[in-house]
Structure 1
Amino acid sequence: MPFQLHRRKALQWFLMLLAAVMLSACGFHMRGPAQLPFKTIYLGFSGNSSLGTELKRYIRASGVEVTDQATEAEAVMQVLANTTEKKILTLNSNGQVREYSLYQRFSFQVKDQAGKVTIAPIQIVLKRDVTYDPNQELAKQAEEVLLYRDMQSDLVQQILRRLSATKTNVDETVEE
């Protein structure tokens, strides 16, 4: 019996090692900072925007300078709309709310220094469903706050992906 137990453990270790080797051989690697096609950007957020602060942090981490003046930037991001919404999803037989849908809608466009639109207006809509229990009011409020924070982080990643997929004149110019 002890020999079979030892053999089983050795087989488990071998399978874990094999899985690690297979994962490393498949080309998997962690996502690095975004590769943005411009060196400076102006973000059209208000000074106290948590979304703007988080986006600035990620953009700076990718090596791009975030300027305070639109005239100094190669790219200007204009925020067209940023709204959150809470809609009733389902009701129980007594007409009380059982589930909500939380929405975050964000739309923006990006222009270059000359005012030419490099990214046409884009709208990103995020949705999360949350159950509701009137007996756990404080816990459900905290869950809602956490879901909105998660939606904000997801929104920042989607904005970064769209910005990094942009082709600007900076990429297309060839020095002679």
Structure 2
Amino acid sequence: MLNSVPLKMPVNSRNWLRWPVMLAMSALLCACGFHLRGSANLPFKSIYMTFAPTSPLGIELKRNIVASGNTAVLPKEDGAEATLQVLSETREKVILTLNSSGRPSEYMLYYRLTFRVIDAQKKELLAPTLITLKRDISYNSSQELSKDAEEVLLYRDMQSDMVQQILRRLTAIKTAQPTQPAQQLEPAVPASDQVTAPIAVPAK
């Protein structure tokens, strides 16, 4: 009869870090699914956006607009009633606090977008607008992998927030209303057709 000998698995001091990373990445994959927070009722029937074709923000914004069913996103500017021009898009990571050893213990993540909107006649419908979002994140060198995953999630959350901020500003745009036809005035009566009252002559 053979005695069963329990197998001893090697212990990796970093194995415990894998679980939070795996959980965080799973949450990220779920977050990548499209969730429309509200229907975007834009004041124009078509729009062109100057985001790069692979821009995650541009892709998510396009999905929200298309899902509304009210506005088409065109692949080129020709024929679009409005154009969203991206003037700048930046991400920044700034040290917020230091620990007793002088090492960063907390960061602030910034996500900034500046854009404007013009119509087909190049008239400015929305002046250059800056949207700034920020999130703070703590840092621990012993949890570097999980913190990297958390940073990705925070930027992904800011991206979704940015989309909603843009949509609110697009929805609030007041487009030029078609001018009402001027009311036709009654034609003036020609002088020859005017009726003049007889002049009374005083009696002598």
Deviation (angstroms), 1:34: 1.2
Gap change, CA 1:58 and 1:175, over 3 Å in 2: farther
Alignment correspondent of 1:33: 39
Gap change, CA 1:126 and 1:137, over 3 Å in 2: same
1:74 aligns with 2:73: no
**Runs of at least 5 residues in structure 1 that lack an aligned partner in the other structure:** 1-30
Alignment correspondent of 1:25: none
1:91 aligns with 2:98: yes
Distance across 1 between alignment mates of 2:115 and 2:136 = 25
Deviation (angstroms), 1:32: 3.5
Aligned positions, number: 145
The one of 38, 51, 73 aligned to 2:57: 51
Deviation (angstroms), 1:139: 0.2
Distance across 1 between alignment mates of 2:38 and 2:136 = 30
Alignment correspondent of 2:33: none
1:132 is matched by which residue type in structure 2? Y
Distance across 2 between alignment mates of 1:32 and 1:123 = 22
Distance across 2 between alignment mates of 1:49 and 1:72 = 23
Given the two structures, how large is their TM-score scaled by the length of structure 2?
Answer: 0.69
1:144 aligns with 2:144: no
1:39 is matched by which residue type in structure 2? K
The one of 124, 128, 141 aligned to 2:131: 124
SS in 1 for 2:78: helix
Distance across 2 between alignment mates of 1:42 and 1:32 = 21
Structure exhibiting the larger radius of gyration computed from Cα positions: 2
Alignment correspondent of 1:17: none
The one of 116, 133, 151 aligned to 1:109: 116
**Runs of at least 5 residues in structure 2 that lack an aligned partner in the other structure:** 1-36, 182-204
Percent identity reads 58
Distance across 2 between alignment mates of 1:68 and 1:41 = 9
Distance across 2 between alignment mates of 1:77 and 1:159 = 10
Deviation (angstroms), 1:71: 1.5
Q: Which has the larger share of strand?
A: 1
Q: Which has the larger share of helix?
A: 1
Alignment correspondent of 1:42: 48
Distance across 1 between alignment mates of 2:61 and 2:180 = 32
Distance across 2 between alignment mates of 1:34 and 1:47 = 21
| CA RMSD of superposed structures (Å) | 1.5
Distance across 2 between alignment mates of 1:83 and 1:134 = 26
Given the two structures, how large is their TM-score scaled by the length of structure 1?
Answer: 0.79
